Amino acid sequence: MVEQDNGGHLPITRRGLLLATASSAAVTTTSARAAASTPAAPPHAGAPTAKLSIEVNGRMRTLDIDTRTTLLDALREHLQLTGTKKGCDHGQCGACTVIVDGRRINACLALAVMHPGAKVTTVEGLGAPDHLHPLQEAFVKHDGYQCGYCTPGQICSAVGMLDEVRQGIPSHVTGDLNVQPLLSIDELRERMSGNICRCGAYSNIVEAIAEVAGGVA
């Protein structure tokens, strides 16, 4: 016979506590197994999709994608163009820079469906191993990279930036619009400031771009 304590409750024994713990664990395990046996819904089930036709590196591509898909993910996950890198995914590092209709943009900030019929150029479309773009050659010559992760974005951004200079588009540090070309060393750094190299190869990057631009530096 088990005696009650002064409060009228049964006393807690070590044996009783162990039994209660084991019972609780058994119930939890059973519930977990039941949940695991329930088939999971496919990702983005029921999400709206859209057909998108875009020209990528000179080739027309048609995609049926989730309307929330970024241009970056469309390029990497749907078209397997993994040269374009996903860095911060917040538009702060420039690793995902591509050229869309002649303008450089951060692909991680643009929804793919915002650019129907657009002409997109990624680093794969700038040159081939046996026929490099001048900026690709300059980056190799001047060691404009270390780990190389930011390099595709740096090169695409530089291509777009030099085209802006040719069009006479000023930057925030342009002092005189009558000075040609609009690309001093300060201009170059300002115009490329949206592309971060965490390895710190900035001086080499500047030298590579300056050589292609005509020896500005």
CA distance 83 to 153: 9
CA distance 183 to 187: 5
Check pLDDT > 80 for residue 10.
no
In this structure, of 72-81, 127-136, 150-159, 165-174, the range with the lowest mean pLDDT score is 165-174
What domains can be seen in the chain, in order of their start residue? Answer: 48-125 (3.10.20.30), 127-217 (1.10.150.120)
pLDDT in tens, 18-29: 566 656 655 555
Give the three-state DSSP class for 55.
strand
Residue whose C-alpha is closest to residue 84's, from 64, 69, 99:
99
Residue whose C-alpha is closest to residue 124's, from 92, 151, 91, 101:
151
Give the mean pLDDT of 176-186: 75
Question: What's the confidence (pLDDT) of residue 2?
Answer: 47
Check pLDDT > 80 for residue 99.
yes
CB 161 within 8 A of CB 192: yes
Cross-strand pairs, 111? 70
CB 205 within 8 A of CB 196: no
